Amino acid sequence: MKNTFYITTPIYYPSRKFTLGNCYTTVICDAVARYNKMKGKEVFFLTGTDEHGQKISNNAKAAGKSEKEYLDEIIADAKELWKLLDIDYDKFIRTTDDYHVKAIQKIFKELYDKGYIYKGAYKGLYCVPCESFWTESQLKDGCCPDCGRPVIAQEEEAYFFKLSAFTDKLLKLYKENPEFLEPQTRVNEMVNNFLKPGLSDLCVSRTSVKWGIPVDFDPAHTVYVWIDALFNYMTALGFKSDDETLLNKFWPADVHIIGKEIVRFHAIIWPALLMALDLPLPKRIFGHGWMLFGGDKLSKSKTVDSKECVDPRILAPRYSSDSVRYILLREIPFGSDGNYSTEAFLTRFNADLVNNYGNLVSRTFSMLKKYNNSIIPELGELEQIDKNLFEMVDQEIKNVDRYMENFDVSKSLISIFNIFTSANKYIEATEPFRLAKAPDKKGRLDTILRCLLEVIRKGSLLLYPYLPNCTTTVLSAFEIDPKEAKFNDLDKFSLKAGEIVHSIPMLFPRLDIQKEMEELSKLAE
């Protein structure tokens, strides 16, 4: 069986600095990638930027910069942001990369030679100062949504892709492969809104957009948006280059994780383009919901400096990258939209990270220090309450595995934190602090401490893909490197009696929520 796992984020538009919304998909992909590594798979995790189009060119001009200068600054900031959030990607593709540009030209030509691309005329509403075409629905009060000036009806020569030829093939694809597009609600949207009414051909070149990949056999045209953007998932692996080793190893992708607004492009245009070239299709596409900020998706219209938008560049250094990852992964139910609020972020921080996980670790380690000089004790005979705890842990490990098959990071975290809640309750129920006062109960005390240490080890390994920092710290107390850990390690009791548990710094400080709210709103001004 193929033991590789190829996962991708969308390539984001660097038309402005990335927001917490962009972090949402990227952090999910990072957690899923790390999880699959732990499952023993050879993982390739791709992210990147979608750099062509008039909007980028206009933004650069407005900033008094060349496109390249403008983009380089935003991409440097994006890479810093991924570092800040511990995003462990394998490759960052930029659609302005030379190898991508060359590959796209070859792909466009091949589609043309096969008769899937033909020349026609594009009719649209054009904003002259912005040099941009808009559709009726994109207009704001009948004017250009970017500059607010009037638009004119205009026509230009353009190439088209024969998307209309693929309606039946796509319906068949969805029917025969229920996993291809998830959640199921997205399939219904595609079928009812686009496939049943019948697909129209797609405009794939422009003469009015200069900032794009030139069509090499007709240089007045540049490749327009989706052929350039979607094929990144393959060109990043060397498709149409001299070296297709990675492509042969990792294509087809195991999953493209994307926001729901671009499902249409990934679930309709992308498979149609691949079918036209007789190429294997991605195995799964997952269209997640939006993280809403005061009811707004906020990804396109506002800047990171606006008050409502919380900047991950402020949050991560102040509260840790793990805490930002936690709110992103935990707060939004599987596949639906969910709200972000600063208050929810701070409340979860205290309730889950400080009072639950942090508290379990610090209580256990300090009891171990006090009652056993930080030495891992022997495991005595297990009582029913100990067995119940481990049965519960094992059940939650199975649940996490089942949820992660479907990229349900939020439910996985609920399961993992159930483990910590149960372990804290186990401390209350077994009262090790009381046993410590009775010398004849030392054996039982040792067993309880040992059980707690094993639960901390298992729970921290399980939590590592989601929160890599704090778990690495906790596991370092046992000299365990989670990067090397495998999922099967979770089956065992693997600590060794007699070994020392090193002391570690406090994981998360308790926050004064009111005070933090005030400070953050000052910073966001």
In this complex, which beta carbon is closest to ligand MSP, that of residue 233 or of residue 365?
Answer: 233
Angle, helix 321-331 to helix 468-476, in steps of 10 degrees: 120
In this complex, which beta carbon is closest to ligand MSP, that of residue 22 or of residue 471?
Answer: 22
Least Å distance between CB 397 and ligand MSP?
28
Parallel, antiparallel, or unpaired for β 181-182 and 285-288?
parallel
Least Å distance between CB 229 and ligand MSP?
4
In this complex, which beta carbon is closest to ligand MSP, that of residue 18 or of residue 371?
Answer: 18
In this complex, which beta carbon is closest to ligand MSP, that of residue 96 or of residue 471?
Answer: 96
Least Å distance between CB 523 and ligand MSP?
20
Least Å distance between CB 264 and ligand MSP?
11
In this complex, which beta carbon is closest to ligand MSP, that of residue 266 or of residue 457?
Answer: 266
In this complex, which beta carbon is closest to ligand MSP, that of residue 95 or of residue 323?
Answer: 95
- The structure tokens listed for 14 are 């660097």
Residues near ligand MSP, by CB under 6 A: 10-13, 21-22, 24-25, 50, 229-230, 232, 258-259, 261-262, 290-291, 297-299
Phi–psi pair at 278, nearest 5 degrees: 55, 40
d(CA 206, CA 203) in angstroms, rounded, equals 8
Least Å distance between CB 21 and ligand MSP?
2
Least Å distance between CB 255 and ligand MSP?
13
d(CA 83, CA 70) in angstroms, rounded, equals 21
96 in helix, strand or coil?
Answer: coil
Strand partners, 287: 258
Least Å distance between CB 82 and ligand MSP?
14
13 in helix, strand or coil?
Answer: coil
In this complex, which beta carbon is closest to ligand MSP, that of residue 298 or of residue 463?
Answer: 298
Please answer whether residues 37 and 7 qualify as being in contact, where contact means their C-beta atoms are separated by less than 8 angstroms: no
Nearby residues of 274 by Cβ (< 8 Å), 6 or more positions away: 280, 281
In this complex, which beta carbon is closest to ligand MSP, that of residue 232 or of residue 356?
Answer: 232
Least Å distance between CB 22 and ligand MSP?
5
Please answer whether residues 111 and 273 qualify as being in contact, where contact means their C-beta atoms are separated by less than 8 angstroms: yes
| Long-range contacts at 438-446 (CB < 8 A, ≥ 24 apart) | 443/380, 444/380, 444/383, 445/371, 445/377, 446/372, 446/377, 446/378, 446/379, 446/380
* Helix H or strand E segment including 5: strand 4-12
- The structure tokens listed for 207 are 């003469």
d(CA 30, CA 53) in angstroms, rounded, equals 28
In this complex, which beta carbon is closest to ligand MSP, that of residue 13 or of residue 116?
Answer: 13
Please answer whether residues 236 and 46 qualify as being in contact, where contact means their C-beta atoms are separated by less than 8 angstroms: yes
Least Å distance between CB 252 and ligand MSP?
15
d(CA 209, CA 504) in angstroms, rounded, equals 56
